[in-house]
Copies of this chain bind each other. A is one copy, B any other.
Amino acid sequence: MTALIVDGERLVRRLKELGSLGVDKDGRLTRLAATDADKLGRDLFVRWAKEAGLVVFIDRIGNIFAVYETSENAGAAPVMMGSHIDTVIDAGIFDGCYGVLAGLGVIEAVKSAGIHLPRPLVAAAFANEEGVRFTPDMMGSLVYVGGMDVEEALQAVSIDGKLLGRELERIGYAGKLNPGFLTPEAYVELHIEQGPILESLGMQIGVVENLQGISWQRITIDGVANHAGTTPMDLRRDAGYAAAKVMNFVHDLALNHRTEMVGTVGSIHFEPNAINVIPSRATLTVDLRSPREERLLVAETALADEIISISNALGVTVRSETLARTQPVEFCDEIVDRIERAAELRGFKCVRMTSGAGHDAQMMARLCPTAMIFVPSARGISHNPDEYTPDGDLINGAQVLLEVVTDLASEH
């Protein structure tokens, strides 16, 4: 197997070509799900897959599957690779696209080497992973594994007021196949880390053994707007100060459990938001993540308790709503071991790690044995045009994917 080599130069070239499609009028790479820009990206992937001699299937939610099946392995459960090619607004060129195009490259390497594997190979591009235009995110894979009804998903309304089902028809990607039509033997997703850990540790490959659970809350604090100059400190009911207390608490809570928790207040809004008025209302979001469900539950409870004491101490009312909640996902030990072994055999410096972000792999893990491979992201930057992974790292990751997948597909 070690003779098989992925075509790294082609992979890098394709990433750039795909990344050149869907640039908006402000010069930002923006291929939101089921837009004309998304269609451009999809058409290119489909063209490359067909040029490689693969059969392309589209399911009802718009997931694309490029399948390499031979007469010898037809009907066997395939090994699936994949990710997504939709993007956020003002995106980088690597997020998602890397896993999809590396999957295609792996299949091409196997096919052109004339190797006969006991299992078919699939490179999948899942629909609407980013969730920017239609919620929820990871929709294509969620629907694929049966976590959301396809009819319901097709009724999703975009931020620009369009129905997903109609938009998929419009761009020509409303397929006939029912999501879940293929049950893979295994699913392996290659992705940029989107975080700084590999780079800061000087590692080349991240062996992703689990994925954090995510708890998103919106916290709304109601106080009393009063004149900033005439209201003594003791008589204030300052929603802004209460928000600062929550922000401190979230930060310290995560810092105290830093090896297995992160916590972020990423957005805030004050009303009336005037320099000389005590805020009557502060709205902020809390993003808590942990690879351990128990830790996440404890943190949520601690935050709820803190909210009550802040509310009592400051005379404000505080309410919180859950915006999203996913449980941590444990990936398949056996695949994780294979990834580590493949990386080590190639002499790549690798480390076992947790995925901090959500990925289609977390959905696919419900359906079949699954794991992920990460490569470094420069400065951890993602969802940004500065997103960057050196070519060498991209090629290393694709090579590990190739070896793990051919390994998995060699067994029956």
Residues of A near any B CB (own CB < 8 A): 193-197, 200, 212, 214, 216, 224-235, 238, 240-241, 243-245, 247-248, 251, 254-255, 258, 261-270, 273-279, 285, 287, 289, 323, 355-358, 379-384
The residues of B that contact A228 with a CB separation of less than 8 Å are: 262, 264, 266, 287, 289, 356
Complex alpha-carbon distance, A230 and B291, angstroms: 12
Complex alpha-carbon distance, A370 and B356, angstroms: 64
The chain B residue with its CB closest to the CB of A88 is B274
Interchain CB contact under 8 A, B278 and A266: yes
The residues of B that contact A358 with a CB separation of less than 8 Å are: 229
In-complex Cβ contact of A226 among B195, B231, B258 (8 A): B195
Interchain CB contact under 8 A, B235 and A200: yes
Given A267-B275, A287-B228, A380 and B235 touching (CB < 8 A)?
yes
Nearest 6 Cβ contacts at the A-B interface = A195-B230, A230-B356, A229-B356, A244-B247, A228-B264, A275-B285
The residues of B that contact A248 with a CB separation of less than 8 Å are: 241, 244-245, 248
A382 to chain B, nearest CB (A): 6
The chain B residue with its CB closest to the CB of A287 is B228
The residues of B that contact A229 with a CB separation of less than 8 Å are: 194-195, 212, 214, 262, 287, 289, 355-358
Complex alpha-carbon distance, A291 and B253, angstroms: 39
A3 to chain B, nearest CB (A): 35
The residues of B that contact A251 with a CB separation of less than 8 Å are: 233, 238, 241, 244
Interchain CB contact under 8 A, A233 and B262: yes
A307 to chain B, nearest CB (A): 15
Complex alpha-carbon distance, A275 and B215, angstroms: 11
In-complex Cβ contact of A266 among B212, B235, B268, B279 (8 A): B279
In-complex Cβ contact of A197 among B200, B230, B258, B289 (8 A): B230
Complex alpha-carbon distance, A276 and B287, angstroms: 7
A250 to chain B, nearest CB (A): 9
Complex alpha-carbon distance, A57 and B297, angstroms: 71
The residues of B that contact A212 with a CB separation of less than 8 Å are: 229
A388 to chain B, nearest CB (A): 14
Complex alpha-carbon distance, A381 and B231, angstroms: 9
Interchain CB contact under 8 A, A193 and B230: yes
Interchain CB contact under 8 A, B266 and A274: yes
Given A238-B264, A258-B232, A227 and B195 touching (CB < 8 A)?
yes
The residues of B that contact A384 with a CB separation of less than 8 Å are: 225
8 residue pairs bridging A and B, Cβ less than 8 Å apart = A196-B230, A216-B276, A228-B356, A233-B261, A240-B264, A265-B279, A266-B276, A275-B285
Given A241-B251, A244-B244, A380-B235, A268 and B262 touching (CB < 8 A)?
no
The residues of B that contact A233 with a CB separation of less than 8 Å are: 251, 254-255, 258, 261-263
In-complex Cβ contact of A267 among B193, B263, B274, B356 (8 A): B274
